[in-house]
Amino acid sequence: MEHKKINLTLKVWRQQDANAKGKFADYKVSVSPDSSFLEMLDDINNDLEKKGMEPITFESDCREGICGTCGLVINGQPHGPIPRIATCQLHMRNFKEGDTIYVEPFRAKAFPIIKDLMVDRSAMDRIMEAGGFISVNTLSVPDGNSIPIPKEVASEAMDAASCIGCGACVAACKNASAMLFVSAKVSQFALLPQGQPERYIRVDEMVKAMDQYGFGNCSNTYACEAECPKGVSIKNIARMNRDYFMAKIK
């Protein structure tokens, strides 16, 4: 079997720490089209370590698109050029021989750079702590038909809950707004009976936390929806706007 490789030039953002000035470093690589993007970075890091050089810092965990840990901006697009996937699911077959690829970290004031391509996304955890939960113990999964919920509503809640909290929406938004993330977390509870008692206090607290961490405001450009690896809909943002208004006049 033929093992064809493609030659690429990578321009990778290197930055020592949050306060250091970063810059692009060039890496010439010859990579199998079957390799994933992160495997390619692993290879580069192996080479760098062999040479006694500092490897590129980047985050990843499950490498199957469900944990939300990985996240790189590849040629200006969070998680790269292919829609509906996380960075770990991007394969090099999507690039052409001789391509130059820019690899940058998620850029937002609310996501300070820790090192190279790794950013601190704990602001999203703080937002979750502000209200992304149900205070009462709802016990284990309820019996199939004990809480009647129309299929459409259950599906909508599930779609909102499919948000993996990767932060690509923030990275994609021209204003670095976290509205899609927060609205998904608000919606997954707002749509179901278990979420009702705290529905309005939740949206109020989560929006307050979101504003506190320096995310931008929503301009309704909908870049977030296009870049979301899970395709979370901007209808969730509309729902959050609605709930926030209700929370304020209640």
Least separation in angstroms between CB 46 and other proteins: 26
Distance of alpha carbon 167 from alpha carbon 194, whole angstroms: 26
The correct pick among 121, 185, 230, 239 for binding other proteins (CB under 8 A) is: 239
User: What type of residue is 82?
Assistant: I
- 6-14 and 100-104: which strand pairing? parallel
- When the beta carbons of 81 and 142 are compared against other proteins, the nearer one is 81
- When the beta carbons of 5 and 248 are compared against other proteins, the nearer one is 248
Q: Pick the piece of the chain touching other proteins (CB under 8 A) from 40-48, 122-130, 139-147, 209-217.
A: 209-217
Least separation in angstroms between CB 211 and other proteins: 5
Distance of alpha carbon 9 from alpha carbon 29, whole angstroms: 6
Distance of alpha carbon 115 from alpha carbon 68, whole angstroms: 18
Q: Taking a C-beta distance cutoff of 8 angstroms, is the pair 86, 229 a contact?
A: yes
- Decide if residue 84 touches other proteins (CB under 8 A): no
- 73-74 and 118-119: which strand pairing? unpaired
Q: Binding string to other proteins for residues 143 to 182, with x set by CB under 8 A, is what?
A: -----------------------------x-xxxx-x---
Helices (H) and strands (E) in the chain, counts: 8, 7
The correct pick among 14, 63, 126, 235 for binding other proteins (CB under 8 A) is: 235
Contacts of other proteins in 96-115 (CB under 8 A): 102, 104, 107-110
Phi, psi of 128 (to 5 degrees): -65, -40
The correct pick among 184, 202, 227, 232 for binding other proteins (CB under 8 A) is: 227
- Decide if residue 214 touches other proteins (CB under 8 A): yes
- Decide if residue 93 touches other proteins (CB under 8 A): no
Q: Taking a C-beta distance cutoff of 8 angstroms, is the pair 118, 59 a contact?
A: yes
